[in-house]
Amino acid sequence: MPLTWASMTTDYGLRDGFVAACHGVIARLAPAVRVIDVTHEVPPQNVRHGAMALAQTAPYLPEAVHVAVVDPGVGTARRGVVVVAEGGLLVGPDNGLLLPAARALGGVRAAYELTEPSLRLPVTSATFHGRDIFAPAAAHLALGVLPSAFGNAVETLVELPEPFVAAFPGKLVSEVLTVDHFGNVQLAATPADLELSGLTGAVSVHSERVAVITAVGRTFADVPIGASVLFADSAGRLAVAVNGSSAAAVLGLGPAQECTITSSPTAT
């Protein structure tokens, strides 16, 4: 069935013409399709950040073909795929980028390798599959070409490693998933993990560099300007924020680093 929407998630940035070229390919092949840009500011080559950005956004978009390109292995033997999910189609490299969003859209129904030459640009670069393979695939899919027309079925898709989370009585250790534009630090841990640890009220949030006394709250304004708060973010993950500032800068935390939460020395 034809679709009227596509989305794009990349690490291309906006300084160069990469995003415009992909938009242009879709527009030339499928002029009626409208493209929503999820983000093009994924940190370069950070596949997990791109996967989380798309997974946390896609359920709020109209049914669409979702193009995602964070592709350190471009030009290698890694596959390009179209993934059929309950609530949409996803196109990109088979490097773990697409699966979290596919699950957020109701689960994977099927997947196919992007090998059919007639459904890509006539000349393909070894380093710009977003323009030459993924954008054309999205356009053709939006026009109603069946996913099975692109190539052989893929039985097993590449998975990202599970982020580390460990909850103990009085202690929670979690990998950092993402850091957003405001410097809020999103953890892999959830409120359920915090509950398992039994930590409430004031806690101590530790990085390798510093420990910061932090209130467990609901939103940024639960603490004074310059103070830190641990809360459940809009994606249902635990996050650390500093009201009016950057928690990432204060704590020295970035993606894939480890954060430890313990009872605060001032807690009673």
- Tell me the whole-structure pTM to 2 decimals: 0.91
Quote the CA–CA distance of 201 and 121 in Å, as a whole number. 57
Task: Examine domains 5-150 and 165-263 and report if their fold is the same.
Answer: no
Instruction: Supply the pLDDT for residue 69.
Output: 98
5-150 is classed in which CATH architecture? 3-Layer(aba) Sandwich (3.40)
| DSSP-derived 3-state class of residue 23 | helix
Of residues 99, 96, 50, the one with CA closest to residue 70: 50
Query: Distance (Å, rounded) from C-alpha 207 to C-alpha 203?
Result: 13
Record the tokens describing residue 266, joined without a space.
Answer: 């001032």
Residue 268's pLDDT is 41
Residues 6+ apart with CB under 8 A from 112: 81, 82, 84, 147, 148, 150, 151, 152, 153, 154
Q: How far apart are CA 224 and CA 267, in angstroms?
A: 18
- Classified as helix, coil or strand, 26 is helix
Determine phi and psi for 193, rounding to 5 degrees.
-65, -40
What per-residue confidence (pLDDT) applies to 266? 61
Query: From first to last of its 268 residues, what are the pLDDT tens digits of the chain?
Result: 789 999 999 999 999 999 999 999 999 999 999 999 999 999 999 999 999 999 999 999 999 999 999 999 999 999 999 999 999 999 999 999 999 999 999 999 999 999 999 999 999 999 999 999 999 999 999 999 999 999 999 999 999 999 999 999 999 999 999 999 999 999 999 999 999 999 998 999 999 989 999 999 999 999 999 999 999 999 999 999 999 999 999 999 999 999 999 998 764 4
The answer to whether 92 and 67 are in contact (CB under 8 A) is yes
From the number of C-beta atoms within 10 Å of its C-beta (0-12, 13-18, 19+), residue 153 rates as exposed
The class level of CATH for 165-263 reads mainly beta
Assess contact for 241 and 247: CB atoms under 8 A.
yes
Asked if 237 and 189 count as a contact pair (C-beta separation under 8 A), the reply is yes
Question: What are the domain boundaries of the chain?
Answer: 5-150, 165-263
Cα torsion 220, 222, 228, 231: sign? negative
